[in-house]
């Protein structure tokens, strides 16, 4: 049974802190294995990647067959139903439209000292996208990672996806094609991350790697960080629903279950102003679990990490939500905008009862790669900015240098950095001050 809490109970604070700090994931320590795999790929390149793929994915590749061909992608596309293809296209279009609005602006201005200052944004040249194989091979993840990269202007987007026993996922390949992925390699695991980071004869290195993966992939991303950029290391998914009594308990139950079905470590929390409504949602979850296809996953998630919290008012709900800093936050209340204004930490907010979180996973437009494990306190979901970087610009005139240079000399001296100061002094001397 999930935890049931009430802020009016004397032990609430203790119980809530326990809920906040519950460790939901035991990451196996695979770092030593991953270090060996990376070293192997760095020294033997393609040969190492091919050997490791034979071992883990049970397929025999050559340098010529590492890459999935245009013909294979066309064949995959032909296997996708027109309805599925249309849904993918609509999703891609909406995700692209949302992310195009994130393109940042350059700036340049001249200040009162005569200094021209500003910045300029440029795209990362080459990015790598990791896509898991097997059960967690989601076409929607391909769209969510690849489209922001292409909107940013990434010239070369290389995707890796393991194909255990040689089985390709047609929807994943179609999503890659729709998103504008430039190269796809049928490899996975730490070896794929190493190949993207360091390059092999067949796979040119990239500058940044994004995308979800298992413990090996996460450990490999941590290890290559610095050599290349990486996105966040994602943890298990979470949802927090704040709902008043004026909701259908079954809708809220399904919203909670749509996180719980991802992973036994996923967490679904309901905060409600009405204890009876909370109980009704609890019953609806149990009822839905009876027939849910993934009840073997969603059941344990709800049992071990689910929670129903009763609060006296929405202000208390917002305060608790800010302590949780949820990845996904649904506001199923009469005035969601007013409640949203009180939220300071959340990855994504879904406003009103007509906005189930699943809309955001697929088709809404915002990105579904979001900060987990309370990291919405300090980080954001994936965006176009993750595939760009900013170069700052400064240009002094002789007059500007005369105006502000002496302060630079002064500070350089105070930090005992003489050459810093002299580089200004030499120029000011030429101007005879």
Which residues make up each annotated binding site for NAD(+)?
130, 191, 214
The closest alpha carbon to 304, from 62, 40, 25, belongs to 25
Residue 423 interacts with a second copy (CB under 8 A)?
A: yes
Contact map string, positions 130 to 149, toward a second copy, x by CB under 8 A: -----x--xxx---------
**C-beta pairs of 351-358 under 8 Å, 24+ apart in sequence:** 353/243, 353/247, 353/248, 353/251, 355/330, 356/251, 356/254, 356/255, 356/258, 356/330, 357/239, 357/255, 357/258, 357/259, 357/328, 357/330, 358/255, 358/258
| Of 37 and 260, CB closest to a second copy | 260
Confirm if 215 and 94 have CB atoms less than 8 A apart. Answer: no
Binds a second copy (CB under 8 A): choice among 15, 30, 59, 87: 87
DSSP secondary structure letters along 204-224:
---SEEE----HHHHHHHHHH
The closest alpha carbon to 64, from 43, 52, 50, belongs to 50
| Of 50 and 228, CB closest to a second copy | 228
| Of 280 and 373, CB closest to a second copy | 373
Cα angle value 283/286/292 (rounded, 5°):
140
CB of 212 to a second copy, least distance (A): 13
DSSP secondary structure letters along 267-309:
EEEEEES-HHHHHHHHHHHHHHHHH-TTHHHHHHHHHHH-EEE
CB of 7 to a second copy, least distance (A): 21
Confirm if 190 and 130 have CB atoms less than 8 A apart. Answer: no
Binds a second copy (CB under 8 A): choice among 38, 129, 171, 194: 171
Binds a second copy (CB under 8 A): choice among 29, 100, 111, 276: 111
Using CB under 8 A as the binding criterion, the count of chain residues that bind a second copy stands at: 123
Contact map string, positions 341 to 380, toward a second copy, x by CB under 8 A: --xxxxxxxxxxxxxxxxxxxxxxxxx--xx-x-xxxxxx
Binding to a second copy (CB under 8 A): which residues in 373-392? 373, 375-381, 383, 385, 389-392
C-beta neighbour count of 166 within 10 angstroms? 11
Binds a second copy (CB under 8 A): choice among 41, 336, 339, 384: 336
CB of 68 to a second copy, least distance (A): 19
Cα 315 to Cα 18, 122, 311, 343, 381: the distances in Å are 22, 42, 9, 10, 25
Residue 410 interacts with a second copy (CB under 8 A)?
A: yes
| Of 200 and 375, CB closest to a second copy | 375
CA distance linking residue 121 with residue 391, whole number of Å: 6
Binding to a second copy (CB under 8 A): which residues in 215-244? 226, 228-229, 233
Binds a second copy (CB under 8 A): choice among 294, 300, 319, 342: 294
Binding to a second copy (CB under 8 A): which residues in 302-331? none
Binds a second copy (CB under 8 A): choice among 251, 278, 286, 320: 251
Residue 211 interacts with a second copy (CB under 8 A)?
A: no
CA distance linking residue 143 with residue 102, whole number of Å: 16
Binds a second copy (CB under 8 A): choice among 208, 221, 265, 267: 208
CB of 321 to a second copy, least distance (A): 11
The two three-digit tokens of residue 290, written as one number: 């009876």
Q: Which residues are catalytic?
A: 327-328
CA distance linking residue 160 with residue 153, whole number of Å: 20
| Of 52 and 277, CB closest to a second copy | 277
CB of 179 to a second copy, least distance (A): 14
Residue 407 interacts with a second copy (CB under 8 A)?
A: yes
């Amino acid at each position: 049974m999930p935890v049931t809490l009430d802020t009016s109970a004397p032990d609430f604070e203790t119980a809530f802190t326990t809920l906040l700090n519950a460790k939901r994931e035991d990451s196996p320590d695979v770092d030593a294995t991953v270090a060996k795999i990376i070293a192997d790929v760095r020294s033997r390149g393609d040969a190492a990647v091919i050997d490791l793929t034979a071992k883990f994915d049970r397929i025999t590749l050559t340098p010529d067959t590492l890459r999935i061909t245009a013909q294979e992608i066309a064949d995959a596309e032909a296997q996708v139903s027109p309805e599925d293809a249309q849904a993918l296209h609509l999703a891609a279009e909406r995700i692209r439209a949302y992310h195009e609005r994130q393109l940042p602006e350059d700036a340049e201005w001249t200040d009162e000292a005569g200094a021209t200052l500003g910045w300029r944004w440029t795209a990362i040249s080459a990015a790598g996208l990791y896509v898991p194989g097997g059960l967690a091979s989601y076409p929607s993840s391909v769209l969510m990672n690849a489209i922001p990269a292409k909107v940013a202007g990434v010239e070369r987007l290389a995707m890796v996806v393991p194909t255990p026993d040689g089985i390709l996922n047609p929807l994943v390949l179609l999503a890659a094609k729709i998103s504008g992925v430039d190269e796809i390699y049928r490899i996975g695991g730490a070896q794929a991350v190493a190949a993207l980071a360091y390059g092999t004869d067949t796979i040119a290195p990239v500058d940044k790697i994004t995308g979800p993966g298992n413990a090996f992939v996460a450990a490999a991303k941590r290890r290559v960080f610095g050599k290349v950029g990486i996105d966040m290391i994602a943890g298990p998914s979470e949802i927090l629903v704040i709902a008043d009594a004026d909701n259908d308990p079954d809708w809220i139950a399904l919203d909670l279950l749509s996180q719980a079905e991802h992973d036994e470590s996923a967490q679904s929390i309901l905060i409600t102003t009405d204890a009876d409504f909370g109980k009704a949602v609890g019953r609806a979850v149990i009822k839905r679990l009876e027939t849910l296809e993934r009840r073997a996953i969603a059941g344990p998630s709800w049992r071990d990490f689910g929670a129903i919290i009763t609060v006296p008012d929405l202000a208390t709900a917002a305060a608790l939500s800010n302590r949780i800093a949820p990845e996904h936050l649904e506001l199923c209340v009469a005035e969601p905008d007013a409640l949203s204004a009180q939220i300071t930490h959340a990855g994504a907010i879904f406003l009103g009862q007509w906005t189930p979180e699943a809309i955001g996973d697929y088709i809404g437009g915002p990105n579904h790669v979001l900060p987990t494990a309370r990291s919405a306190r300090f980080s954001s979901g994936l965006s176009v900015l993750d595939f760009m970087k900013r170069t700052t610009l400064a240009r002094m005139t002789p007059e500007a240098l005369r105006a502000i240079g002496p302060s630079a000399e002064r500070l350089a001296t105070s930090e005992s950095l003489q050459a810093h100061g002299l580089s200004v002094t030499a120029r000011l001397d030429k101007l005879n001050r």
